[in-house]
Amino acid sequence: METHDDTAARCKLWFRTPRPRPDARMRLLCFPHASGSASFFRDWQSHLPETVEVRTVQYPGREDRIVEPVMENLEELAQAVAEASRPLADRPLALFGHSMGSVVAYEVAQRMPQFGVRPEMLFVSGLPAPHRQRRAMVHERDDAGLLQELRRLDGSSSEVLDDPELRELILGAARGDYRMLETYEHSGHPPLDIPVHGFIADQDTEVTESEAREWRETTTREFDLRQFEGDHFYLVPRRAELLEELMERLAPTVKAPA
């Protein structure tokens, strides 16, 4: 039987808290893109009010989990994250995912209730709806082909990709992540009973407006879609605008009595 210490250890393994805010009224749990890590969201906390605490998911095989094997099954990843979220049930929780992180967040939201966690809403960014995933085989490319894809999307700094040792580590995580996404099959979950809010960029080659609007099929509640200027990683230069949009939607929960 799992103890309280076991539950706390699992939570600590999977989630990072850049700036803990124990008195925050709600949490925003962020899911990185393919090849991404928790540090991608490290600056978000300083741009959000004290009423919101940012936690980020750290996938195995990168940063402080670099010695762990990269996961290659998206459903298994989502199950592990959902189980680790048990201690987060003490206050309202919203999920935000970018690119691959969107579908991971969606699958986690589907599984959280079995562990006593009921998220308030889901934010998805830069990815087609789960049942509209594109079929690609990037994970089967050689290292040069995979590196070309990472440079095309500009998800990692060129300095990191130019360093042979760091590049090798990144390529291992990227290949596993692409395999997860490209072998993912939407299992026909019932629609979520929470609002879903979508974000895309007008020059993003990874998702069309039509593909993004299909996220409306994943919920029985409200859905909207906001488009920004930019490419697949619009959320870096447009961070302030994106966080303003998030806070507008989170405001009723944030302002509610703790």
Residues taking part in catalysis: 99, 232
* Owner of token pair 């094997």: 69
Do the Cβ atoms of 177 and 59 come closer than 8 Å?
yes
Do the Cβ atoms of 235 and 243 come closer than 8 Å?
no
Residue 141 vs residues 25, 32, 79, 144: alpha-carbon distances, Å: 45, 22, 28, 8
Q: What number of CA atoms fall less than 13 Å from residue 78's CA on the CB side?
A: 24
Q: Using CA atoms, how far apart are residues 258 and 253, in angstroms rounded to an integer? A: 9
Alpha helices in 136-188 (DSSP H): 143-153, 158-162, 164-182
Do the Cβ atoms of 243 and 44 come closer than 8 Å?
yes
* Positive or negative: CA dihedral 110, 38, 201, 169: negative
Do the Cβ atoms of 71 and 59 come closer than 8 Å?
yes
